[in-house]
Amino acid sequence: MNPVLEPRPLVAMIHAVPSGARIAQETFARDFPEARVWNVLDDRLLDDASAAGGLTDALRRRMLRLIGHVMDGGAQALLLTCSSYGEVVDTARTLWEVPVLKSDEAMFKAALAGPYRRIAVVASAAPASRRPSPNSTHSSRRCGPTAPSTSSPR
C-alpha cells in the first residue's frame, strides 16, 4: 500500500520521554489530523544512554527492534522524537522503505540552508549534541568547529 495514497496513514512515533509524546501528539492533532498516530514509549532509552555515556551497540539494536516493531505493525511513516537516537535513523532507512524521520532533521536542513555563518546547538542530553556524521542526513560541513558540550539535567 502506498502511504501517499492512504487517506488515514498510520504514523508511528517512538518516544524516549513521556513529554515528547504529549508534544508530538498535540502537533499531529493540530497539523496532520488525518493521520492515525501510534505512540511507542520506552522511557528508559534516554536514561540508559546517559548512564552508558552515549549510545552503545546494545542501545542501537534496542532502538532498531522498536523500529522493527512499528514497521511490522504496519506503520507507513515513523518519527523518532528523541534526537539522541537520531543516528539510528540512518541505519533504519537502509532496512525499511517506509519514511523514517529524525526529530531535528528539518530544523538542521533549514538552518544549514540559511545565510548563517555560525549555528549554536543546545541539547539536554549529550548524545543529542554530538556533531552529525558525514554520512548523516544533515551535515556540519558549513559550520565551524563545535564548542565543548556539557550535559545538564533534564
pLDDT in tens, 4-56: 556 899 999 999 888 878 888 899 999 999 999 999 999 999 899 989 998 99
What pLDDT score was predicted for residue 151?
Answer: 43
Q: Which amino acid is it at 130? A: R
The conformation of residue 115, written as its DSSP 8-state character, comes to S
Phi, psi angle pair for 96, to nearest 5°:
-130, 150
User: Are the C-beta atoms of residues 112 and 138 closer than 8 Å to each other?
Assistant: yes
Q: What is the pTM of this model?
A: 0.72
> CA separation (Å) from 42 to 15, 20, 59, 65?
6, 11, 12, 12
- What's the Cα-to-Cα distance from 127 to each of 3, 11, 30, 87, 113, rounded to whole Å? 31, 25, 30, 9, 24
53 dihedral zone (left: phi>0; alpha: psi -120 to 50; beta):
left
| CATH among 3.40.50.1860, 1.10.10.410, 3.30.390.30, 3.30.565.10 for 10-129 | 3.40.50.1860
CA atoms in the 13 A half-sphere facing the CB of 84 = 28
Q: Which of 14-18, 106-110, 122-126 has the lowest mean pLDDT?
A: 122-126
